[in-house]
Structure 1
Amino acid sequence: MPMTKFVQLAWEEMTVPLQVRKRRGSRRMRLTWQPLTRSALLTLPPHVPLKEGMRFVESRKPWLYRQIQATGERVALTPETVIPLLGARVRIVHAPEARGVTRQAECLLV
């Protein structure tokens, strides 16, 4: 069973949750960004100490920062909210008579 530890990464004006996992099958260190949870995941082989893993994260902070910036802010999906969709800005419109989700001009009927 993998060992899991939770850490907070702090730099500049933000704090990012970091989940650290040691996995028996891992052969190398791996850092991934998880946009849905807005957290980072560091996977370590069992023989790599946590201190070395944290140095690895420190060396990858510029990459992680770019990933966070590319994710953007969370937007509440409520009626009349304007969201980006495939490079365009569309407004969410509640349409109970519509079947499924439909796009008409600059509106997304849901």
Structure 2
Amino acid sequence: MKASDQTLPLQNGETLDILFRSHPRARRLKLRYDSVRRAAVVTLPPGVSEKSGLDFARRNSDWLQEQQKAFAGQEFLSPDNFISFLGHDHLILHQPDDAGRVRREDGRIIVGGPAGGFEVRLLNWLKKQARIRLEQAVEEKTGLLGVTCHKIRIGDPGSRWGSCSSRKTLSFSWRLIMTPATVFDYVVAHEVAHLREMNHSPAFWREVDRLVDHATISRRWLRQHGPQLMALQICGKSPAD
């Protein structure tokens, strides 16, 4: 990714840095908001100039401002706050005498042990729950398509819910554990379909539709609610991969 001194004025009087990323397989201009860098990222297809990318960002400045606002109001996953677990709100509780374990019961996520390391225990538990469900969903869907996955990675990429590499490694955000089960299922289906079609062609979407029947609704949910989930932090710290 190439940094640039280009900035984009927004209607709220603030400015937003623009980062350009050239991609040899990109077929069109793409725009996303990077919550880590607090910048707009423009993906340039071969032969498309940064000027065209900047014009594209300008045309979508209202959307970028909405994204900036969503991430500015970050909430923290700390005691006595709520977290969504598979689409259902759960109260986070700290019980120092509970031997350092984490458990979910009756609409609560209870984190035991001392205050020190609270956020690490909570994050590790969330990642573990995400991995358990992701491995199950990937196994099911690769079986349905007759494809194989080399490896599953769980991380916190900042703005992407999932990806598929040319080496058949599927990478997912641990934050998927906060989405409704149907949305979780769709993201897995999307990346598994890439094991057969490494593009977003009509053939790719046919593979997705073989696996789920709610792709459009799930994509809409991610556009509407995804930024808020990406903005969540663990006790004021940005979770590491």
TM-score greater than 0.5 by the shorter chain: yes
- Aligned CA RMSD, in angstroms, stands at 3.0
**Using the alignment, how far apart are the partners of 1:36 and 1:104 within structure 2?**
34
**1:31 CA drift (Å):** 0.5
Evaluate the alpha carbon distance shift between residue 10 and residue 101 of structure 1 in structure 2; reply closer, same or farther with a 3 A threshold: farther
**1:55 CA drift (Å):** 0.6
Q: Percent of counterpart pairs with the same letter?
A: 27
Consecutive unaligned residues in structure 2, runs of 5 or more: 112-241
In structure 2, the residue corresponding to 1:43 is in which secondary structure?
Answer: strand
Map of 1:109 onto structure 2: 110
Map of 1:32 onto structure 2: 32
Matching residue within 1, 4, 13 for 2:2 = 4
| Residues 24, 46 of structure 1: 8 Å contact kept | yes
Map of 2:217 onto structure 1: none
Map of 1:43 onto structure 2: 43
Within a 5 Å distance, the mapping from 1:45-84 to structure 2 comes to 45-71=45-71, 73-80=73-80, 82-83=81-82
**1:94 CA drift (Å):** 1.2
Map of 1:100 onto structure 2: 102
Evaluate the alpha carbon distance shift between residue 10 and residue 92 of structure 1 in structure 2; reply closer, same or farther with a 3 A threshold: farther
| Residues 23, 46 of structure 1: 8 Å contact kept | yes
Q: How many residues align?
A: 105
By relative contact order (CA 8 Å, sep 6+), the higher-ranking structure is: 2
| Residues 8, 58 of structure 2: 8 Å contact kept | no
Query: 1:45-66 CA deviation, whole Å, 9 max, x = no partner?
Result: 2311111110110001122233
Evaluate the alpha carbon distance shift between residue 84 and residue 5 of structure 1 in structure 2; reply closer, same or farther with a 3 A threshold: same
**1:36 CA drift (Å):** 5.6
What's the TM-score once normalised by structure 1's chain length? 0.66
- Give the number of the structure whose residues are more often strand, by fraction: 1
- Give the number of the structure whose residues are more often helix, by fraction: 2
Evaluate the alpha carbon distance shift between residue 8 and residue 108 of structure 1 in structure 2; reply closer, same or farther with a 3 A threshold: farther
